[in-house]
Amino acid sequence: MNMMTRDNKENRKYLAINAGSSSLKFALYTKGGMLVAEGRWEKETTAFVFKAKGNKDEGHVAFKTHEEAFEYMLKCFVREGVIQNEAEIVKVAHRAVHGGLVFTEPTMITPEVLKQFEGMLDLAPLHNPANLACAKRAVEKMPHAEHYFVFDTAFHSTIPEVNRIYALPYKYYEKGIQVYGFHGISHEDMTVRTAQYLGKPKEEVNLIICHLGNGASITTVKEGKSFDTTMGYTPLDGLTMGTRPGHLDPGVVLKVVEECGSVEEANKVLNKESGLLGISDGTISDMRYLLELEGKGFHRAGLAVKKFVQEVIKACGAAYFQLGGKVDAIVFTGGIGENSKEIVRRVVKDLEPIGIILSKDPNELTTAESKIPVLQLAANEELAMLKQIW
């Protein structure tokens, strides 16, 4: 190890690892918040993008695991000269989707923490395993660095008990079966940034934040804190998502288990074969392609899009009344929320009864006369994670 490299403060780098169910996003920063390098790998398409020093490399690399993609990322850092060696990376923030009742704030990773988190894989079966795998490999590759889990559920720890408890026998609540909420890193970051945009203290803003992507959730932010959210005990709940159904009659879940013949098979159906994918042709969950197919007259693609939009509208309406109509802004973020003007405009159009006025310009969202501003903000979960451990 080159200790001179590590001890030179100018060379110290901070790495954020965001392992999704089928993707790996990463970003390397200086402590001052200057982006050094970033990239993304998509398991389904094998696409790998790496940006550094004003250059962008795109290609396709087929990895079987998130760990393989992570190691390739480290090689890219050295190959492109953004670091001389891994010793320059002194802190690593790892996104962790579900911390249960145990983890409610950023936590330094130790063998005991890894063991505790390993016992929570079933709480978010699409995400927690990938989070754990990348964390283990990163600790192996960079034992000199400080590693932290930053939990998606942490921001939602302020949700009041009445919104957290399910109407089940109370013993289940005591065992930890309750609403936890997810996308908390994104929702908190949007809260801070929107408050700055509005020129108000964070503690005074009431917001409806729509994080819409392959995973999707809407959070009611009251006085700067999470008051309620659409996802619950696991990331299966709430809105219609890429491969997850969102809200279901519990009787449907029981029927799916019965039809599948086992909890394991039902878990696969609910996590990987439902949502937009299930409604459409069973092969497409990407909103961009669904919109394209809808335009060509494919009924099931259009039905999937309409279902997604309707669930967002219903959740926004509920959040509006939870806040007593006192909403400072509605914010859209995430892969769909920040990039799809079409989807956001469809939602906004049906929210006109609460005082939002849709612009006739297809490139705009609302008019100046709209009572509630509607924003599309790019998510930067990686920088938001690092800010919590600096």
Which of 160, 149, 75 has the alpha carbon at shortest distance from 114?
A: 149
Read off the tokens for 140: 């192996």
Q: CA 163, CA 226: separation in Å to the nearest integer? A: 11
Query: 67, 73, 68: which is closest to 39 by C-alpha?
Result: 73
Buried/exposed code over 22-52 (b: 16+ C-beta within 10 A; e: otherwise): bbbbbbbbeeeeeebbbbbbbbeeeebebbb
Q: Which amino acid is at 275?
A: G
Is 286 known to be catalytic? no
Helices (H), strands (E): how many in the chain?
Answer: 15, 13
Residue 114 is which amino acid? Answer: L
CA distance 147 to 142: 9
- Pairing type for strands 329-333 and 225-229 reads unpaired
Q: How many CB atoms lie within 10 A of CB 365?
A: 23
What tokens were used for 82?
């953004």
Torsion angle in degrees (nearest 10) through CA of 107, 112, 117, 120: -140
| 50 within 8 A of 62, measured Cβ to Cβ | no
SS3 (DSSP) at 85:
coil
Instruction: Tell me how far apart the alpha carbons of residues 123 and 117 are, in angstroms, rounded to a whole number.
Output: 10
Q: Which of 152, 189, 237, 328 is catalytic?
A: 152
- Cβ-based neighbours of 277, under 8 Å, separated by 6 or more: 242, 243, 283, 284, 285
Q: Among all residues, which ones are annotated catalytic?
A: 152
